[in-house]
A and B are shown apart, each in its own frame.
Chain A
Amino acid sequence: MDAIRYLLILSAVLFSIGAAGVLIRRNALVIFMCIEIMLNAVNLTFIALSRQLQSLDGQIFVFMVMAVAAAEVAIGLGIIVSIFRHKPTTDVDDVSLLKG
């Protein structure tokens, strides 16, 4: 039963890399990629557990996540493009008009 353990550790590592990327990187596109890494880390967990529990529910969830991620990327890229039109940068720290 070691395979599941490695899979879960792998997905945790991937998730952490993604989260760290989101927190550390400034480029909006890179942040998006990191978010994708996090989503896919979660997907990996679903798959691994689906196999482990012999249930298809996890896989169905993965499809859902992929669909949502695709939609999210479409919207996110749209936002980034419109920010870029407004301000020629993809650095999220430059977009701070809502600062308190």
Chain B
Amino acid sequence: MLAYAWLMLLFPLLGVLINAFFGRRIGKRAVSWVACSAIGLSFLVALGVLMGTAGSTGVEQPLFTWISAGSFHVEFSLLLDPLSALMAAVVTGVSFLIHIYSIGYMAEDPRYARYFTYLNLFVFAMLILVLANNYLMMYVGWEGVGLCSYLLIGFWFERKAAADAGKKAFIVNRVGDMGFALGIMLIFAMFGTLQFSEVFRRAPGILGPAAVTAITLLLFVGATGKSAQIPLYIWLPDAMEGPTPVSALIHAATMVTAGVYMVARNHVLFDMAPTTAAVVASIGAATAFFAATMALVEKDLKRILAYSTISQLGYMFLAVGVGAYAAGMFHLTTHAFFKALLFLAAGSVMHAMAGEINIQKLGGLREKLPRTYAVFAVGAAALAGVPLFSGFFSKDEILWRAFLHSPVLWLVGLGTAFLTAVYIFRALFVTFWGETRAEKKLWEHAHEAPAVMSIPMLILAVLAVIGGYIGLPRLSLVEGYLEPVLHAEHAAEAGATEWVLLAVSALIALGGIALAYYLYVVRPAVPANLSKQFAPLYTLLSRKYYVDEFYMAVVVEPLRQVGRFIAELFDPRVVDGAVNGLARLAGVCGEGLGTLQNGRVRSYALSILVGVVIILGYFLLR
């Protein structure tokens, strides 16, 4: 099966080519068949690879030589090991479900074929990122998914907000990608190769503490961009301007987790750099907490989910920062299921309510959309970490590992877990419970999504419930599966402590849900009062800590000033001045020399005479 792994890349690529060149001619039905079957087949291959790589430490499968210049040699080859296989299976599996969902969600869109082309291209790029066996190939995939993200955020580019959001995502990611690129260059400078296996094998011998810290910090800068961590998280909430399935696929389940995957892939280097690991864990914990606080007051359902994604990504970085790579990958997997589910349910709400997404203008939808309500509730329970749902196990694993590392990180994580339960159940209660606040026309028009949309949601709901059982604390399938790659040191058997922590996090989650229930169902007036009483805090949160304004003032405005200076002074005066000056110089010279050519034969003769006299004089007097 492993020998056919390249088919995983081929199918989406074929889908891209067919839909890009013939999509407008073959009709929507054919487009959806091509796109979905491409990803479906790719998923089957990924499953085969997932089984085939169990217990292996990794197989490298060269496809062709990509670059060969002097001593610089890059193979285009696939790295098939449990880590990449798990990631590829999650990516293709979730993508497949979201492709099917998109058939219903995008049915009316005039740019249907283009949408599926982009979506397939995204999967192709993401698989290159995941299956790369060297940094350069990974970087190509990394940029490829960034491009697809930009294209899909701005898919409805007629709306200025969407076009701006796309640009913002692209530009903010450029900052991160710069760090990633510098990290790769540094690795090449130190090792002379970009192949993962070579780098990891020789790393202990070559890298000093300073070098390895620099490399890992630069790589992590790349991860903060792609995975929306402090300080580069600001693009993700705006990215919600894209179609909702895109938010589910790219900005929740797959692309934004690329940073976590990249850190796990480079765990050999990160293990050698305790400083970086501490930075990663702290930034992860801080991001998790601050994003959760912002989600508390957000009114846009998709943006709540976006902040939640940032927060959950923070958990994953907390995990990889404390060395619990398997726990991070486990949470990545369960998060892909339940967050994609939540987004798809939000999309179903938008579908029913003609695009309305402000939760304060919804309410009472459980009556109209019982199926959507049910799956959203499952997703919310999984996200909040209600016991026996998938998020509970993965989050608990992370908290447990964080506790072993540093109780402070554990406390921050626990606080975040509480906030998570509050904000997601706030969203649930305000959207689906109580009296409706929707316009009458919209309310009557509201209808449950077609089967093509609800079946993927149901499948994801099932996965969101059972997805956690693959990584039960005692069973540890995920950790065992990833063992050959990650060599996770097994956490000490702490017995009682572990169970206590488990109980604490369960209680915290239930407590958060209870608080949300009290605030938004029992006493709906309380939140409004609270927001008045703590007005400064409320404003601070709802304005997102003024971070956007801060970046605007500190980064964007100065750059704009520089741009203005260049456009208004430097360009016309210096650049144009140089060109115009040269032209004027030529003109002046021409005029000066032109007076010599005055048309008077006698003055020509005089010049000849003078010339002859000078030349003769020179030869005679020399």
Which of A's residues lie within 8 Å of B, judged by CB? 19, 22-24, 26, 31, 92-93, 95-100
Q: Mark B594-608, 1 if CB is under 8 A from A, else 0.
A: 111111111001100
Task: Kindly state the separation between the CA atoms of A2 and B593 in the bound complex, as whole angstroms.
Answer: 47
A92:B609 contact, CB within 8 angstroms? no
Known: A19-B609, A23-B609. A92 touches B602 (CB 8 A): yes
- With a cutoff of 8 Å between Cβ atoms, the chain A residues found around residue B598 in the complex are 96, 99-100
Whole-angstrom distance between the Cβ of A75 and the nearest chain B Cβ? 15
Beta-carbon nearest neighbor of B591 in chain A = A100
Task: Kindly state the separation between the CA atoms of A34 and B503 in the bound complex, as whole angstroms.
Answer: 124
What are some 9 contacts across the A-B interface (CB < 8 A)?
A22-B605, A23-B609, A92-B600, A92-B602, A93-B602, A95-B601, A96-B600, A99-B599, A100-B598
- With a cutoff of 8 Å between Cβ atoms, the chain A residues found around residue B593 in the complex are 100
Beta-carbon nearest neighbor of B597 in chain A = A100
A100:B600 contact, CB within 8 angstroms? no
Interface residues of B in 118-153 (CB under 8 A from A): none
B609:A99 contact, CB within 8 angstroms? no
B609:A98 contact, CB within 8 angstroms? no
Task: Kindly state the separation between the CA atoms of A97 and B606 in the bound complex, as whole angstroms.
Answer: 19
Task: Kindly state the separation between the CA atoms of A23 and B602 in the bound complex, as whole angstroms.
Answer: 5
Instruction: Report the interface size for chain B: residues with CB under 8 A from the other chain.
Output: 13
Interface residues of B in 573-619 (CB under 8 A from A): 593-602, 605-606, 609
B597:A98 contact, CB within 8 angstroms? yes
B606:A96 contact, CB within 8 angstroms? no
**Interface residue from A24, A26, A97 paired with B599 (Cβ < 8 Å):** A97
**Could you list 17 further interchain pairs (A-B, Cβ under 8 angstroms) beyond the known A95-B599, A100-B595, A100-B598?**
A22-B602, A22-B605, A23-B602, A23-B606, A24-B602, A26-B602, A31-B602, A92-B600, A93-B600, A93-B601, A93-B602, A95-B601, A96-B599, A96-B600, A98-B599, A100-B594, A100-B599
Task: Kindly state the separation between the CA atoms of A98 and B604 in the bound complex, as whole angstroms.
Answer: 12
Beta-carbon nearest neighbor of A19 in chain B = B609
- With a cutoff of 8 Å between Cβ atoms, the chain B residues found around residue A96 in the complex are 598-600
Task: Kindly state the separation between the CA atoms of A96 and B596 in the bound complex, as whole angstroms.
Answer: 13
Task: Kindly state the separation between the CA atoms of A100 and B600 in the bound complex, as whole angstroms.
Answer: 11
Whole-angstrom distance between the Cβ of A77 and the nearest chain B Cβ? 16
Task: Kindly state the separation between the CA atoms of A22 and B600 in the bound complex, as whole angstroms.
Answer: 12
Interface residues of B in 532-564 (CB under 8 A from A): none
A99:B597 contact, CB within 8 angstroms? yes
Task: Kindly state the separation between the CA atoms of A18 and B596 in the bound complex, as whole angstroms.
Answer: 24
- With a cutoff of 8 Å between Cβ atoms, the chain A residues found around residue B599 in the complex are 95-100
Whole-angstrom distance between the Cβ of B609 and the nearest chain A Cβ? 6
B594:A23 contact, CB within 8 angstroms? no
Whole-angstrom distance between the Cβ of A14 and the nearest chain B Cβ? 15
- With a cutoff of 8 Å between Cβ atoms, the chain B residues found around residue A19 in the complex are 609
A100:B596 contact, CB within 8 angstroms? yes
Interface residues of B in 156-198 (CB under 8 A from A): none
Task: Kindly state the separation between the CA atoms of A24 and B595 in the bound complex, as whole angstroms.
Answer: 19
- With a cutoff of 8 Å between Cβ atoms, the chain B residues found around residue A99 in the complex are 597-599
- With a cutoff of 8 Å between Cβ atoms, the chain B residues found around residue A26 in the complex are 602
Beta-carbon nearest neighbor of A96 in chain B = B599
Whole-angstrom distance between the Cβ of A52 and the nearest chain B Cβ? 20
Beta-carbon nearest neighbor of B603 in chain A = A23
Whole-angstrom distance between the Cβ of A78 and the nearest chain B Cβ? 17
Task: Kindly state the separation between the CA atoms of A96 and B602 in the bound complex, as whole angstroms.
Answer: 11
**Interface residue from A23, A93, A97 paired with B605 (Cβ < 8 Å):** A23
- With a cutoff of 8 Å between Cβ atoms, the chain A residues found around residue B597 in the complex are 98-100
Task: Kindly state the separation between the CA atoms of A19 and B613 in the bound complex, as whole angstroms.
Answer: 12
Task: Kindly state the separation between the CA atoms of A99 and B596 in the bound complex, as whole angstroms.
Answer: 9
- With a cutoff of 8 Å between Cβ atoms, the chain B residues found around residue A24 in the complex are 602
Beta-carbon nearest neighbor of B606 in chain A = A23
Whole-angstrom distance between the Cβ of A95 and the nearest chain B Cβ? 7
Whole-angstrom distance between the Cβ of A9 and the nearest chain B Cβ? 17
- With a cutoff of 8 Å between Cβ atoms, the chain B residues found around residue A98 in the complex are 597, 599
- With a cutoff of 8 Å between Cβ atoms, the chain B residues found around residue A97 in the complex are 599
Beta-carbon nearest neighbor of B595 in chain A = A100
- With a cutoff of 8 Å between Cβ atoms, the chain A residues found around residue B605 in the complex are 22-23
Whole-angstrom distance between the Cβ of B242 and the nearest chain A Cβ? 66
Whole-angstrom distance between the Cβ of B211 and the nearest chain A Cβ? 68
Task: Kindly state the separation between the CA atoms of A53 and B499 in the bound complex, as whole angstroms.
Answer: 132
Q: Which 8 pairs between the two chains have the least Cβ-Cβ distance?
A: A96-B599, A100-B597, A99-B599, A100-B594, A92-B601, A23-B606, A93-B600, A23-B602
- With a cutoff of 8 Å between Cβ atoms, the chain B residues found around residue A100 in the complex are 593-599
- With a cutoff of 8 Å between Cβ atoms, the chain A residues found around residue B609 in the complex are 19, 23
Task: Kindly state the separation between the CA atoms of A98 and B603 in the bound complex, as whole angstroms.
Answer: 13
